[in-house]
Amino acid sequence: MVPVLTLFLAAAPRAYSAQVSLQVDTPVLSEGQSVGLVLTVTDTSVRNGPPRFGVPAGLQAEFESQQQQQLMLNYNLTTSTMYRYTLTALKAGEYVIPPVAVQTAAGGLVTGPVTVHVQPRGASSAGVNELTGELTDGVRWVGQEVVYHLRFATDRQIQNGNWVAPEGKGFAVDPALEHVITNGTLGEGGTPVQVRDLYLPLRFTEAGTITIPGGALQAQFPVERTRRRRGQLEQLFPEMGMLMEMRSDVFSAETLTRTLKEPPKAGRPADWSGLVGTFQLTSHVNGAPDSGPMRVNVGDTVTIAVDLVGNAPVAGVKLPALQGDGFRVYDDQPVATGVIRDGAIVATSSFKRAVVPERPGPLTIPAISVPTFDPVTGTYVVLHTEPLVLDVQGAAATAQVASFSSGAAPAADLGATDELLPVRTEPSLSPPWPGRWALVLLAPGALALAGVGVRAAVARRAAQAPGTRALDFGDLPDDPHDRLSGLEQIFREAVAPGLGVGAAAVRGEDLARLGPLAEEAQAVYRLLERARYADGGGAERAAVQDLEAALRAFVRRLA
């Protein structure tokens, strides 16, 4: 059947003479919007590749792709080659794209003119079919981290969307803080308006006038095909409902500029760690009375909980070491969280500090201080907690702490006769018999178990593919969003040793320090960013697949 149909189509006469046409997806645009501009060549071929032509100042046209289509109309075969360009509106105004001359195998052909009207930003009703961008107010200082908000509202049916973050010099998207995407509908009655929002954390890194190019949204809308562009089956069986195709429009937000200054050196505390923002420092003591000093015994553990909360990330902040006599200090690992909530950054770092008195009598634990720079007032602010007063009772004795891991704060020097139990991070079992006999009885069994564990570990490592041994590509989930999180962690762990930082502290701007691997790492990072802003659907899955392929190749190079 297929060969017969092929011969029939080949023998069929042409339906139309050679012709060219130029059409724009929509003749009414807003500033920053990009739509399709299609040059169609029918029943002939173009000489010298895709046609080139100029457009008036205020518009921009770039070649995107070409495709060919054959249609059977009234038992006549017609072949069309479509050259698709991206037409971007740069400035409001009324424009006429002049006729385009095309050199074809049938001779020179000319299209008709195309009229395009570009509206200024904000001219459409309630900003419909426009992408707007804004920054948190008060951006003035290097080191500030703020939220960049993109909003797109449309009265059309949007099927899919792919966000593009702004890129430029002097700022960077913070990869350690999750962006937020929300979708909703506004309006009651009539045509509902779909609203899509993107909230991005931007950190400013350089002084001077910083230009933030507008972020973008590539949106897909279903449109009805014209009769000339319908497939053969759709023309024969229109009731099948296959008369819709997808059209992609790109919307860009307006460019923003900000002038940034370095925090002043005058009045800068020597121990300032670079915190820029508005913060609060609070503390409380477990079991402390409402009034008067807290009564404890020598060797008891007093737990101080400290919370640093602000409108900028606080991950990596350390508490200053406590200095004093008559007590020992142990810091647990801090727990840092950061989210974008209601368009603002809310970050918290929670600390736990164990204080163990070593001798009886009144004991004052000094206050904790953390220096910050307040971008609102333009001054340094030193945050303080209240000092802790203890009434220590009992005789001097050895103190024990089993629930805190040692941190940056140094413990007091131990005398020659002092004993301090080692810090433990896991529960331990104490044998009911003397310690030396426990070692004698348990040693052979421990060695046997250790040998089994080593052999099992070697077998597992040998079974894994080279270059992916410690990165567990095979354990990634199928869901695109969850898989993306796993791929991001693999990337962080892969580049962290070369940067000399922990995986959680890897930042995009640091990748330039990777030497010969910097360019490839930056390319993977760009794919990671693209995948993070893919707004669901097939766009997200495709972006994650591209990222994984590049990341696997990058990890193999590291191996």
Kindly provide the residue ranges of all beta strands, DSSP E only, lying in 76-215, ordered along the sequence. Answer: 76-89, 93-97, 101-104, 107-110, 114-119, 130-135, 145-154, 160-164, 171-173, 180-186, 193-204, 208-212
Please determine, for residue 42, whether its predicted confidence score (pLDDT) is greater than 60. Answer: yes
Q: What is the mean pLDDT of residues 406-425?
A: 35
Q: How confident is the model at residue 443 (pLDDT cuts 50, 70, 90)?
A: very low
pLDDT for residue 86: 86
pTM above 0.75, yes or no: no
Q: What is the mean pLDDT of residues 1-10?
A: 46
Percent of the chain with pLDDT over 90: 33
Give dist(CA 547, CA 537) in Å, integer.
Answer: 16
Query: In Å, what is the CA distance from 111 to each residue of 21, 39, 80, 100, 118?
Result: 5, 9, 15, 5, 22
Predicted confidence (pLDDT) per residue in 345-364, tens digit: 999 999 999 999 999 999 99
Q: What does pLDDT average to over the chain?
A: 78
Give dist(CA 506, CA 491) in Å, integer.
Answer: 9
pLDDT for residue 537: 65
**Which is higher by pLDDT, 531 or 198?**
198
pLDDT for residue 503: 78
Q: How confident is the model at residue 429 (pLDDT cuts 50, 70, 90)?
A: very low
pLDDT for residue 398: 47
pLDDT for residue 457: 38
57 Cβ neighbours under 8 A, 6+ residues apart: 91
Q: What is the mean pLDDT of residues 314-327?
A: 87
Which span out of 182-196, 226-240, 283-297, 465-479 was modeled with the highest average pLDDT?
A: 283-297
Q: How confident is the model at residue 158 (pLDDT cuts 50, 70, 90)?
A: confident
pLDDT for residue 520: 92
Please determine, for residue 433, whether its predicted confidence score (pLDDT) is greater than 90. Answer: no
Q: What is the mean pLDDT of residues 73-97?
A: 84
Q: How confident is the model at residue 124 (pLDDT cuts 50, 70, 90)?
A: low
pLDDT for residue 135: 93
